[in-house]
Amino acid sequence: MQVSITLKDLEPFTQYFIFVAARTIKGTGPSIQLPFLTDEAEPSVPPYNLTFINASDSSAWLQWRPSPRPNGIVHIYSFQIMENSSQSIFFQNISGARTEGKLTNLDPFKTYVASVSAFTKAGNGNQFSNTIQFTTDESAPDSVQNMRCVATSWQSILVQWDPPARPNGKITQYVLIFQNVATFVLATDYAYTFRDLLSNTTYNFSIQAANSAGKGKEDRCNATTKSEE
């Protein structure tokens, strides 16, 4: 006598009811109801309509619509993020069933491409949403590199430098400070000569790179003018 049955082609994570009754030649007896829930599966369809809202210099706020067929309880939204210039790919996760969230620990003034995937306990089925592209804001630049001061005569000192390793935006100018007076140097220039100085005298100089977010860290050097001949 058969006492089991296999039901096929059921939908994942769906409530079903089976009604079971015994039947003899005399007829069908009373039935019992057996409810059951099919197990979770990977989402059949990814989240969609991923949208960029806004960004700071280190984060971005995104929104999206949930998968119309998650096939389970979504525990994590995982973002695949690519930094455009280096093509490096990394992931960030947001827990829960929220449909908006913030990506963090991003670099300033970088362009990123992102998409999102929903995870149930069965996985994500390698299903990702549409991709979006966004650029983080600028932040103040790092200090310049290799600043050096060299006396070129008994009346002049040449100050030279290299651009910051991390400009964190578009450098707009360099600000040289000498005796509490600021001298503004074009972003394309990496040297400036101070003239009409006293001979055999030590002078101190400082410099900051600047972009639209502000001025960066200060770097310093000094040099002593040559003696008069």
Burial 110-132 (b: 16+ CB within 10 A, else e): bebebbbbbbbeeebbebbbeeb
Of 170, 89, 88, residue with least CA distance to 137 = 170
Asked if residue 62 is part of any domain, the answer here is yes
The least confident of 37-46, 172-181, 195-204, 216-225 is 37-46
Which of the listed residues 135, 163, 196 is the one where a domain comes to its end?
135
Average confidence (pLDDT) over 98-111: 96
Q: How many CA atoms lie less than 13 Å away from 111 in the CB half-sphere? A: 7
Asked if residue 36 is part of any domain, the answer here is no
Asked if residue 7 is part of any domain, the answer here is no
pLDDT at 1 exceeding the cut of 70: no
Q: Which residues contact 191 (CB under 8 A, 6 or more apart)?
A: 158, 159, 160, 161
CATH number at residue 66: 2.60.40.10
Asked if residue 29 is part of any domain, the answer here is no
Q: What 8-state DSSP symbol labels residue 122?
A: T
Same domain, 215 and 173: yes
Same domain, 70 and 127: yes
Same domain, 163 and 209: yes
Backbone angles phi, psi at 72, to 5 degrees: 160, -170
Average confidence (pLDDT) over 15-39: 84
Kindly report, residue by residue over 115-145, the tens digit of the pLDDT.
999 999 999 989 999 999 999 999 999 999 9
Domain span at residue 170 reads 145-224
Which of the listed residues 77, 100, 135 is the one where a domain comes to its end?
135
Kindly report, residue by residue over 86-96, the tens digit of the pLDDT.
999 999 999 98
Asked if residue 176 is part of any domain, the answer here is yes
Asked if residue 40 is part of any domain, the answer here is no
CA distance 157 to 151: 4
H/E element, 43: none
Rg (CA), the chain: 33
pLDDT at 154 exceeding the cut of 70: yes
Same domain, 172 and 112: no
Q: Give the mean pLDDT of the chain.
A: 94
Report strand pairing: 157-162 vs 191-194. Answer: antiparallel
List 145's β-bridge partners, or say none: 162
Q: How confident is the model at residue 2 (pLDDT cuts 50, 70, 90)?
A: low
- 187 by Cβ neighbours in 10 Å (0-12 / 13-18 / 19+) ranks as middle
Kindly report, residue by residue over 47-97, the tens digit of the pLDDT.
999 999 999 999 999 999 999 999 999 999 999 999 999 999 999 999 988
Q: How many CA atoms lie less than 13 Å away from 47 in the CB half-sphere? A: 27
Same domain, 64 and 89: yes
CA distance 106 to 20: 58
Asked if residue 202 is part of any domain, the answer here is yes
Kindly report, residue by residue over 196-224, the tens digit of the pLDDT.
999 999 999 999 999 999 999 999 999 99
Same domain, 122 and 159: no
pTM of the predicted model as reported, rounded to 2 decimal places: 0.84
**C-beta of residue 137 within 8 angstroms of C-beta of residue 108:** yes
Asked if residue 20 is part of any domain, the answer here is no
Same domain, 128 and 156: no
